[in-house]
Homo-oligomer: A and B are copies of this chain.
Amino acid sequence: MTGILKGMRVVEGSAFVAVPLAGMTLAQMGAEVIRFDRIGGGLDAGRWPLAPSGQSLFWAGLNKGKKSIAVDMSHPEGRELVTRIVTAPGEDAGLFLTNLRVRGWMDYDTLSQHRRDLIMVTLMGDRHGRPQVDYTVNPSLGIPAMTGPADHSDPVAHAMPAWDVAAGHLVVSSLLAAERTRLRTGEGQEVELSLKDVAAATIGHLGMIGDAVVNAQDRPKAGNALYGAYGQDFVCACGRRVMVIGLTKRQWRNLVKATGTEAAMADLATRTGRDLDDEGVRWELRDEITEILRPWFAARRVSDFAAEFDAAGLTWSVFRTVREAVDEDPDLSDANPMFQTLDQPGLGRFPVPGHPAVFSGHVRESPSPAPALGADTEAVLGDVMGLCDAEIAGLFDMGVVQGPEQGARSVL
């Protein structure tokens, strides 16, 4: 009755968002995830945001619940060590995630000579192996051109690395699918995907490529409006901004009823000869609808209608900054079993999320903090690789590996 992936061991050589998120998602489902980094830390060791101590809140967030080992991979013994950890025996081991794309010793063909049933998932920038990040993929595929206020001509990039997050979760499901096959056939395999392909596939799945081609048009910017039906933001009398949704017919009718705008909407329908029960008509007439609704919201404080909207089952929300959300929304506090407020040395005290899914057959585990870089070097060398104390001491002394604080190793 612990994490659903308990017993699985995954090794991760990664940086930035996608692959670290993949490993962390597996760790939060109970897998043992060993992340290796070069001594001193990987490319993302100091990624912003930082805590006042200078430690990376980003790194801590994306490496929760993992084990960390620090290895000098410029040293042949370091490469040998990583090879042995990646390919260590165990029915539920031999699972490797990476976005580092190190050629040669870290290729699948090389690594799988040490374990024939190795499963290795590699995330690339694009399918050609060129470097790409969320910040370059997103502009190249057209999303910023459809984002932002209607009267703003420049593209607006998203602040949330959406493609990285999608790619990270696809790394997880690809790994699990490959492991499922290995359980049945005994065969490992190499899995490759790219950040750009993830983004390109997704915009295709959402109908955006078809729209561009068959309608020979680009989706226009429409501010915060919900595309294709009705949904709009309004500023209320208290100064707060709300988002209200009329995507389904039921949502739409509830919104009209709750705002008492039935007569005005009927008048709009008569005047235009259009049926507002058609979601596309609501989209086409969104500005007229918004003009009808705007005075209603402008005359009311959020507190005037919040309870009524909830009782009527409306789909709506209040715009918040992250700070406001943490202050005001119990869903971002320990009132939500997904969160636990942790005191983390060097970081501070704040709510830390676990895995979003609740599995009825498993107790929901509290989130574990991220390790210090190299915190598990010694333990992994002993427990996973079965090295004796003298061998471990030799590796530390040669500088092939490092612990969390070079001077403070426990037994050596």
Contacts and interface: CB of A to CB of B under 8 A. Distances in A.
Contacts of A159: 143, 146-147, 219, 221, 227
B148 A156 contact: yes
Interface string A279-318: 1100100000000000000000000000000100101111
Interface residues of A, number: 156
A110 interface: no
A207 B316 contact: no
A211 B146 contact: no
Given A161-B206, A323-B217, A332-B209, A361 B189 contact: yes
A103 interface: no
A245 B177 contact: no
Interface string A162-205: 10011101101110111111010001111111101110111111
A326 B219 CA distance: 14
Interface string A126-146: 110011110111011111111
Contacts of A169: 166, 169-170, 172-173
A358 interface: yes
Q: Which 10 residue pairs are nearest across A and B when measured between Cβ atoms?
A: A48-B228, A169-B169, A162-B162, A142-B322, A214-B348, A57-B207, A49-B211, A213-B350, A136-B317, A204-B353
A5 interface: yes
Contacts of A202: 160, 165
